[in-house]
A = this chain, B = another copy of it.
């Protein structure tokens, strides 16, 4: 289990290799990477400023990761979330989960992403020719959490 909050970019291949290094018991690794899109609501975007709450962010991510490890049989998990100014096309987030079974790897990665979206203290300000705009939370992201049932503590 590992959580990193950083301004620097990450190398997905290197992270997966590190996760699997020296072990032969992993059956499945799922990764999710989120990137800055160059369009938002029909407006061109050149950069996205990612603000976060140092201290609380790490706690929130660790809590989400711990809950995923409690719910699924995971052999390894990783959450890397960037902050600061990011250009269109840049990496924002990497989630990786490893398990003996594919279903556990898929579900836990989705679970982590769903909780990251509306439970990790990050805020996005998109900037383009039209100026800057704070990204609104989407109802769909709040709804996505409900499918993991109401008993979750993450």
Chain A residues within 8 Å of B, Cβ to Cβ: 11-14, 16-17, 20, 23-39, 88-89, 100, 102-103, 105-106, 109-110, 113, 144
A sample of 25 inter-chain contacts (CB < 8 A) reads A11-B13, A12-B12, A12-B31, A13-B13, A13-B14, A13-B17, A20-B35, A23-B89, A24-B36, A24-B38, A24-B88, A25-B37, A26-B35, A26-B89, A28-B32, A28-B34, A29-B33, A30-B30, A30-B31, A30-B109, A31-B31, A32-B106, A102-B113, A106-B106, A106-B110
B27–A34 touching, CB < 8 Å:
yes
For residue A12, give the distance in angstroms from its CB to the closest CB of chain B: 5
